Amino acid sequence: MNRRMILLNLALLALAGVLVWVLRTNWLEAQAREREAAKGTSRKKVLSAEERTYEGLDKLFAAIDARREPELARVGALHRLLVR
């Protein structure tokens, strides 16, 4: 009986935590909407994972790779000088 009461209390505590979290997110969303209405601005639309394109990441990785290659060439040249 005592173990059941502890589990029930933990479940109720978890439920209360979820409820507080949902209420807080709704309140923050309402505050943001009020702020937007007062300023006359709107937030950018957040894209879902399916809608996102990662074109910029390909360019970023290409730029990173391009910067790495000269360093490797310098290390190779330095190694050749030291080996002689």
pLDDT at 11 over 90: yes
pLDDT at 71 over 70: no
Whole-number average pLDDT of the chain: 82
The CA distance from 61 to 76, in Å, is 23
User: How confident is the model over 27-66, as pLDDT tens digits?
Assistant: 999 998 898 888 887 777 777 777 777 777 778 888 887 7
pLDDT confidence bin for 74, thresholds 50/70/90: low
What predicted TM-score, i.e. pTM, was given to this entire model? 0.46
Instruction: Look at residues 44, 42, 20 and name the one whose alpha carbon lies nearest to residue 33.
Output: 42
**Element at 55 (helix H, strand E):** helix 55-83
The domain ranges of the chain are 1-40, 53-84
